[in-house]
């Protein structure tokens, strides 16, 4: 028996429904595929642009490095060329004559004024005996020529220049100038002992140079002088000497010029009872020379000794008070 309430779907209907479902699924799948393809294309495009930007950045960095290297090479080549040009450059002749002025004092004029008064001293302790081949002990230094009342022409120097380490006084001393005149003062002279040592214990001495104290002499015009009127000695008053004052030292140091007097310069670095302290160069052979105060062109005293430090040395100028 057939139930009238049951509904049956015809086979053709199922076919239509199946086709519709397949169509809907196909359309949805196609849309999803298109979206996937679009996203893929966009991703590949972004990746391609990123790679392009990175390559461009890298290329810019390489270009900058190449430019920097080129600039460095150019600068280096320019510096090399400048050095070569300086080496090959001929020195320019300087025909301009300059006078050095220090604190209003004419430096060259002061040196000229005093240099002909500063003589070298070489002293001998003993006699030369050619037959026995003996050579006496020798000491050297500098001196300042002056006329002193009661003594006449003398060479002012240090005591340690005319005495040896044992305190013995030299047999004779040669006082002279490079290429100029000389006088030989000897204990065998007719005038007696020409060496006068400071009895107050100071490191100063006088060598008498008047003819009666000499055993030999050879002079050139104006090299030695004897007129007190031409050679008054201007001694600096101690109260007018101040720290920082500029000075020069004249003498014949062993490391100085071999053909002339040597001049060094400095300042008054300190004041002591018997000495001025200075940074002016004083070396072996300067002892007994002359220290000159520039601002008054006056005689400070005798360059005497040096106190060496680790890096710098300070010299002592013995204050003279005749």
Is residue 280 within 8 A of residue 265, CB to CB? The reply is yes
Count of C-beta atoms within a 10 Å radius of residue 314: 16
User: What is the model's pLDDT at position 51?
Assistant: 72
Q: What is the CA radius of gyration of the chain?
A: 50
- Up-side HSE of residue 180: CA atoms within 13 Å toward CB? 18
Count of C-beta atoms within a 10 Å radius of residue 26: 10
For 238-319, the fitting CATH number among 2.40.10.10, 3.30.70.20, 1.10.357.10, 3.20.20.70 is 2.40.10.10
Residues 6+ apart with CB under 8 A from 282: 249, 253, 264, 303, 304, 305, 306, 313, 315, 316
> Is residue 16 predicted with pLDDT exceeding 60?
yes
Same fold: 117-218 with 238-319: yes
Query: What tokens appear for 91 in the block?
Result: 């020195």
Is residue 301 within 8 A of residue 234, CB to CB? The reply is no
Closest listed residue to residue 152, CA positions, set 237, 236, 234, 231: 231
> Is residue 230 predicted with pLDDT exceeding 60?
no
What are the residue ranges spanned by the domains of the chain? 117-218, 238-319
Q: By mean pLDDT, which of 50-54, 55-59, 66-70 is the weakest?
A: 66-70
> With bands split at pLDDT 50, 70 and 90, how would you rate the model's confidence at 71?
low
Mean pLDDT of 23-43: 68
Q: Which tens digit of pLDDT belongs to each residue from 258-306?
A: 778 899 999 999 999 999 999 999 888 889 999 999 999 999 999 998 7
> Is residue 227 predicted with pLDDT exceeding 60?
no
User: What is the model's pLDDT at position 206?
Assistant: 95
> Is residue 99 predicted with pLDDT exceeding 50?
no
Q: Which tens digit of pLDDT belongs to each residue from 240-259?
A: 999 999 999 999 988 878 77
User: What is the model's pLDDT at position 160?
Assistant: 93
> Is residue 97 predicted with pLDDT exceeding 70?
no
Q: What CATH fold (topology level) applies to the domain 117-218?
A: Thrombin, subunit H (2.40.10)
Residues 6+ apart with CB under 8 A from 177: 116, 119, 120, 223, 261
Does the predicted model carry a pTM greater than 0.85?
Answer: no
pLDDT: which is higher, 12 or 293: 293
């Amino acid at each position: 028996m057939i139930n009238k309430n049951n509904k049956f779907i015809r086979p053709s209907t199922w076919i239509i429904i199946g086709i519709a479902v397949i169509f809907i699924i196909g359309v949805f799948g196609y849309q999803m595929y298109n979206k996937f393809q679009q996203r893929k294309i966009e991703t590949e495009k972004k990746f391609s642009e990123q790679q392009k930007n990175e390559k461009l950045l890298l290329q810019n960095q390489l270009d900058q490095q190449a430019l920097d290297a080129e600039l460095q090479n150019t600068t280096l080549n320019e510096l090399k060329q400048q050095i070569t040009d300086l080496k090959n450059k001929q020195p320019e002749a300087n025909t301009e004559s300059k006078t050095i002025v220090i604190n209003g004092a004419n430096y060259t004029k002061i040196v000229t004024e005093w240099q002909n008064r500063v003589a070298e001293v070489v002293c001998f302790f003993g006699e030369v005996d050619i037959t026995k081949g003996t050579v006496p002990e020798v000491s050297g230094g500098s001196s300042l020529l002056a006329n002193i009342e009661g003594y006449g022409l003398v060479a002012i120097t240090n005591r340690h220049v005319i005495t040896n380490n044992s305190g013995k006084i030299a047999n004779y001393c040669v006082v002279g100038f490079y290429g100029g005149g000389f006088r030989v003062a000897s204990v065998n002279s007719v005038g007696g002992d020409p060496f006068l040592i400071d009895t107050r214990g100071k490191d100063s001495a006088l060598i008498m140079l008047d003819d009666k104290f000499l055993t030999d002499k050879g002079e050139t015009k104006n090299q030695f002088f004897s007129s007190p009127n031409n050679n008054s000695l201007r001694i600096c008053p101690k109260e007018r000497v101040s720290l920082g004052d500029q000075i020069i030292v004249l003498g014949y140091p062993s490391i100085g010029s071999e053909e002339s007097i040597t001049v060094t310069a400095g300042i008054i670095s300190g004041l002591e009872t018997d000495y001025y302290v200075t940074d002016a160069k004083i070396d072996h052979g300067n002892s007994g020379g002359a220290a000159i105060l520039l601002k008054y062109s006056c005689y400070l005293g005798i360059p005497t000794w040096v106190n060496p430090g680790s890096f710098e040395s300070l010299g002592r100028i013995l204050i003279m008070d005749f």
